Structure formats: structure tokens, C-alpha cells
């Protein structure tokens, strides 16, 4: 059993998928988000979508960093994580404008004061204001903030995003086919709309990263940050402190800041692509939970994927792998490893897509291709080939 499983989490969410297997898959089963007819007006030319996600256990890292440093601003990143994990999933069905967002924040009031709530809520509005300047309009509809200390140890920051969208402008992944190339957008670096280097960690795999990277002293100081029934051998077993300094992306930073880099949104890039290159985009995959294997859930049955030119794993993932001892198979199944958005397109269109992404400071490249055959994937890393 992997360390990830021993900690009570799953990269593939097998039990979740089993629990929901009998639910309606919507109009387009291969689409990245579930799509329904427009229930509000009954107009056959429009569809309705609603998506829920959140920052996950990254909020525990924010709690640790805040307690250790007193830096309240770290909670701004958690607000962004909860929003972007919704927004960038919806980007993958073609939606980039006129969205609604409702936040859901559950806290343990005994350890999370009102100033943390205020920071999270205000930071959400700040992000919406920034995105509006790029033509991505999201209306903040409020939400639910509950004091439920008997349910959560610290704080859970989640949200729900909804939209109404024309059928003619949907990306449903049904057009993914053999003979296409895959353009990958980097999760790391510094986009033109970011204020500092982004490690690329996003909001998946943070249970693994936190325990494998951070020192046992955090278990003693902050027992509220982990499940007490876990075996001590999997709790905070790493070599680092949050304030350890390191150079990444040519900048001096800390382990804590690398782990807490806000999830990058690709919304400004994708707005430009979906408005100007819509017909060239055959499919979109957000490499979130499930990492580089996420695509297997959404590709057609007759498509086999070859990924042989991924970005080199950024510093944060190298640090996690060194600390955990995880093999490449587990790392690429849990983390995005530096490539977080996949665009399936024809070879002729790839260069223009890459150039548009680069114009926003987001690195992009052809990372692989699609072939005919049984659904599956080969991921080539130098002399090593991983198979799913």
C-alpha cells in the first residue's frame, strides 16, 4: 500500500467514482464537466453547468504557515485555490465568461479567527476583479460560512461555480481522435498576470506533499492538523521546515511558499484561445486529481495517448519525490508534475496555440500525441516508460 493510501486519501478517488456510478452522466459523457440541458429556460441551444471543488488539504498548510510566521496573506492563496479549481475545470468545456460563484467555508472557530475569514472572502473578490480586467466575468454570489468545530479541525474552503452556455461553443472531448497532438500548458513559472514565481503545485496531492516534506515537529506542535488515528510512521516524516530557504525559478523562496503557491488559472489564456481558435481545439483536460493520468477518464475508447515531451518536473516535485522516495509511477499519478492543462489539436494549429499561451508568460509545448488503439497511455521519461 502506498503512503498516499495509508494516509486515507486516494489520487484516483475510486470509492467516490463507485458511489456516483449510477448518476446521470449528462449530455456529453466525455466532457470534463457534467453538462445538462438549460433547465432555466428550456432553450435547446443552451446548456446549464454547476461545478463544486475547493482548496482541499492545502488549507492545513496555510494554517501551519500562518501559525509559524504570522503571515495572514497566505490565506489569499487558499481563496484563489478554491476558485481556480472550479474555474479551470469549466474552462475545459469551453466556458470562460459570465460565471456565478458561491463560496462554502467551514471553520473551527476555536482556532480560526474572524480575520482569516475576512482575508479569504476579500481575496476572492480581489481575484474576481483581476479576472474581470482580462474579460473573464465572475459574479460573487456570497455563500455559506459555518462554524462547525465538531466537523472540521481547522478550516475547509470550497466553492461552487455555475454557468449557462451556448451548445455551439462547448468543448466536449468527443472530437479527440487519433492523429492529433497534445499541447501542454505549464503550471509553473510566472505568468504576466502573476506577481511572483509559481511552483506549479496547484491543489492536488497536498496530503502527500505536507507529510512527506515537513518535519515531525509539526505533529507535536499542531496535532489538530492531521487525523489522530494515522500511524506515526506516515505523519510529518519529512526533512524540511516551512521556513527553509531554497532557490526555485531563479528566485530565493521558502519551502512553505513553494507548497502554498496559489493554483494558477489559465483563464486569460483560454479566453483568447476559445474566442480566436475555437475550431482548432478538439479537447481539453485539466490535470488535477489523478495528475497525468486524468486524461484517461475523458478520452474516447479508440484513442491511445503517448506523452513523450512533458516539461521537466519543477523544483517542488523533485523535492517531494526526494523526500518521499515515491517512484515516477506514483508521482505522475498524483501530481501534475509541471504540466496542468492539455489542449488536443491538429499539428498545424499547435504553434499558434503555443504562441498565444507564451504571450501571457505561460510556457507551452507539444507534449505528446494521440494514436489509434485501445484506450490507454504511455508516458516516456528518458529511458523509462510508464504504462496505464
Rounded distance, CA 271 to CA 262, Å?
Answer: 20
Tell which residue, 31, 44, 372, 308, has the closest CA to residue 174.
Answer: 31
Rounded distance, CA 192 to CA 302, Å?
Answer: 38
Identify the pLDDT of residue 26.
Answer: 86
Q: Which residue has the cell 528518458?
A: 382
For 20, residues 6+ apart whose C-beta sits below 8 A from its C-beta are none
Identify the pLDDT of residue 9.
Answer: 65
Identify the pLDDT of residue 20.
Answer: 61
Tell which residue, 356, 373, 237, 250, has the closest CA to residue 306.
Answer: 373
Q: Which residue has the cell 476572492?
A: 124
Q: What secondary structure letter does DSSP report for 314?
A: P
pLDDT digit of tens for each residue in the chain (388 aa)? Answer: 566 566 666 555 566 556 666 567 789 999 999 999 998 889 999 999 999 999 999 999 999 999 999 999 999 999 999 999 999 999 999 999 999 999 999 999 999 999 999 999 999 999 999 999 999 999 999 999 999 999 999 999 999 999 999 999 999 999 999 999 999 999 999 999 999 999 999 999 999 999 999 999 999 999 999 988 888 999 999 999 999 999 988 889 999 999 999 999 999 999 999 999 999 999 999 999 999 999 999 999 999 999 999 999 999 999 999 999 999 999 999 999 999 999 999 999 999 999 999 999 999 999 999 999 999 999 999 999 999 9
At 291, is the secondary structure helix, strand, or coil? helix
Identify the pLDDT of residue 314.
Answer: 97
Identify the pLDDT of residue 309.
Answer: 98
Q: Exposed, middle or buried: residue 381 (CB in 10 Å: 0-12, 13-18, 19+)? A: middle
Rounded distance, CA 113 to CA 115, Å?
Answer: 5
Domain range annotation of the chain: 3-197+261-387
Tell which residue, 152, 96, 143, has the closest CA to residue 124.
Answer: 143
Residue 86 contacts residue 159 (beta carbons within 8 Å): yes
Q: Residue 186: beta bridge partners?
A: 339
For 126, residues 6+ apart whose C-beta sits below 8 A from its C-beta are 76
Residue 90 contacts residue 49 (beta carbons within 8 Å): yes
Rounded distance, CA 190 to CA 249, Å?
Answer: 9
Residue 262 contacts residue 58 (beta carbons within 8 Å): no
Identify the pLDDT of residue 96.
Answer: 98
Mutual angle of helices 74-91 and 114-132, in 10-degree steps = 40
3-state secondary structure 74-118: HHHHHHHHHHHHHHHHHHCCCCCCCEEEEEEEEECCCCCCHHHHH
92 Rama class: left (phi>0) / alpha (psi -120 to 50) / beta: alpha
Pairing relation of β-strands 46-54 and 251-254? unpaired
Pairing relation of β-strands 339-345 and 384-387? unpaired
Which DSSP helix (H) or strand (E) runs through 17? helix 14-19
E strands, the chain, in order:
36-37, 46-54, 99-107, 138-147, 155-166, 181-186, 245-248, 251-254, 283-286, 303-307, 339-345, 364-372, 376-381, 384-387
Fold of 3-197+261-387: 60s Ribosomal Protein L30; Chain: A; (3.30.1330)
Identify the pLDDT of residue 15.
Answer: 66
Identify the pLDDT of residue 251.
Answer: 87
For 276, residues 6+ apart whose C-beta sits below 8 A from its C-beta are 356
Amino acid at each position: 500500500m502506498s503512503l498516499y493510501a495509508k494516509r486515507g486519501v486516494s489520487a484516483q478517488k475510486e470509492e467516490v467514482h463507485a458511489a456516483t456510478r449510477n448518476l446521470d452522466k449528462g449530455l456529453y459523457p466525455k466532457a470534463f464537466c457534467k453538462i445538462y440541458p438549460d433547465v432555466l429556460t428550456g432553450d435547446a441551444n443552451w446548456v446549464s453547468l454547476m461545478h463544486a471543488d475547493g482548496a482541499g488539504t492545502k488549507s492545513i498548510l496555510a494554517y501551519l504557515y500562518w501559525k509559524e510566521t504570522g503571515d495572514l496573506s497566505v490565506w489569499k492563496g487558499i481563496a484563489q485555490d478554491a476558485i481556480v479549481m472550479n474555474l479551470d475545470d469549466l474552462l475545459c468545456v469551453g466556458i470562460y465568461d459570465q460565471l456565478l460563484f458561491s463560496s462554502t467555508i467551514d471553520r473551527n472557530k476555536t482556532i480560526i479567527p474572524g480575520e482569516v475569514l475576512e482575508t479569504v472572502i476579500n481575496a476572492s473578490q480581489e481575484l474576481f476583479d483581476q479576472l474581470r480586467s482580462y474579460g473573464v466575468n465572475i459574479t460573487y454570489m456570497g455563500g455559506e460560512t459555518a462554524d462547525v468545530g465538531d466537523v472540521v479541525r481547522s478550516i475547509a474552503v470550497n466553492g461552487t461555480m455555475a454557468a449557462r452556455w451556448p451548445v455551439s461553443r462547448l468543448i466536449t472531448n468527443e472530437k479527440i481522435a487519433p492523429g492529433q497532438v497534445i499541447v501542454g500548458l505549464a503550471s509553473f513559472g510566472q505568468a504576466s498576470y502573476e506577481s511572483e514565481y509559481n511552483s506549479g503545485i496547484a491543489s492536488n496531492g497536498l496530503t502527500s506533499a505536507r507529510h512527506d516534506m515537513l518535519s515531525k515537529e509539526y505533529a507535536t506542535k499542531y496535532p489538530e492538523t492531521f487525523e489522530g488515528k494515522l500511524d506515526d510512521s506516515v505523519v510529518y516524516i519529512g526533512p524540511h521546515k516551512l521556513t527553509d530557504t531554497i532557490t526555485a525559478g531563479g528566485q530565493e523562496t521558502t519551502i512553505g511558499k513553494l507548497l502554498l503557491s496559489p493554483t494558477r488559472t489559465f483563464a486569460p489564456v483560454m479566453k483568447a484561445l476559445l474566442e480566436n481558435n475555437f475550431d482548432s481545439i478538439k479537447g481539453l483536460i485539466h490535470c488535477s486529481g489523478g495528475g497525468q493520468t486524468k486524461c484517461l477518464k475523458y478520452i474516447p475508447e479508440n484513442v491511445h495517448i503517448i506523452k513523450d515531451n512533458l516539461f521537466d518536473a519543477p523544483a517542488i516535485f523533485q523535492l517531494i519525490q526526494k523526500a518521499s522516495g515515491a517512484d515516477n509511477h506514483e508521482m505522475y499519478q498524483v501530481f501534475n508534475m509541471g504540466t496542468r492543462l492539455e489542449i488536443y489539436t491538429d499539428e498545424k494549429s499547435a504553434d499558434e496555440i503555443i504562441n498565444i499561451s507564451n504571450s501571457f508568460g505561460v510556457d507551452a509545448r507539444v507534449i505528446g500525441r494521440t494514436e489509434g488503439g485501445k484506450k490507454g497511455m504511455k508516458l516516456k521519461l528518458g529511458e523509462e516508460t510508464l504504462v496505464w
